[in-house]
């Protein structure tokens, strides 16, 4: 689908309760910036790196590394999901603008959601689950959350940790059996 033909409504449909640590990745859905929905249940058995992003942030060049991870490790099982958020007031004004910015400047082909809240009471259920179950809430843009194939938290990484850092690559390779 064309990124410009997206539906701007965020749908978050948790299947299971959010407070249990055993809630697996199939519990969450995100609206795709391309239209349609990403159902994390479809990624069962695959590690997933979820990254809250913003187009106007100093860390935005990390999109290049996210795309490289997607290109290099996607065929081996890794899913890289970008979650644009304006919680830190550094995102463009619409999903269409974000999609165009990422396509023109980074030629992104990795999965990307609509603009989504990642903090506070209005946070997407996935991020509320992270906060309530693991005590993790993004402190800034480009925080990274690595899940195993069962949807359980493996590790979180701050904004300063590049997606292609040894720390992240080591965890990813351990999960995909490299």
102 is catalytic: no
Q: Which residues contact 49 (CB under 8 A, 6 or more apart)?
A: 66, 69, 78, 79, 80, 81, 144, 145, 146, 147, 163, 168, 172
* Residue 40 contacts residue 29 (beta carbons within 8 Å): yes
Helix (H, G, I), strand (E, B) or coil at 30: strand
Catalytic residue among 24, 33, 57, 78: 57
By CB neighbour count within 10 A (0-12 exposed, 13-18 middle, 19+ buried), where does 44 fall? middle
Catalytic positions, written as ranges: 57
């Amino acid at each position: 689908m064309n990124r410009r033909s997206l539906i701007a409504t965020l749908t978050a449909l948790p299947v299971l309760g959010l407070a249990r640590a055993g809630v697996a990745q199939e519990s969450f859905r995100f609206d795709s910036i391309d239209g349609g929905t990403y159902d994390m249940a479809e990624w069962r058995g695959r590690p997933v790196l979820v990254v809250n992003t913003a187009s106007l942030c100093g860390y935005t060049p990390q999109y290049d590394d996210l795309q490289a991870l997607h290109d290099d490790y996607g065929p081996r099982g890794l899913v890289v999901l970008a979650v644009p958020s304006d919680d830190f007031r550094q995102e463009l004004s619409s999903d269409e603008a974000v999609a165009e910015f990422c396509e023109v400047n980074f030629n992104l082909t990795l999965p990307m959601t609509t603009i989504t809240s990642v903090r506070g009471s209005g946070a997407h259920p996935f991020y509320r689950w992270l906060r309530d179950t693991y005590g993790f809430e993004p402190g800034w843009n480009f925080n990274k959350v690595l899940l195993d194939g069962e949807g359980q938290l493996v590790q979180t990484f701050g904004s300063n940790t590049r997606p292609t850092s040894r720390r992240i690559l080591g965890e990813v390779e351990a999960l995909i059996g490299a």
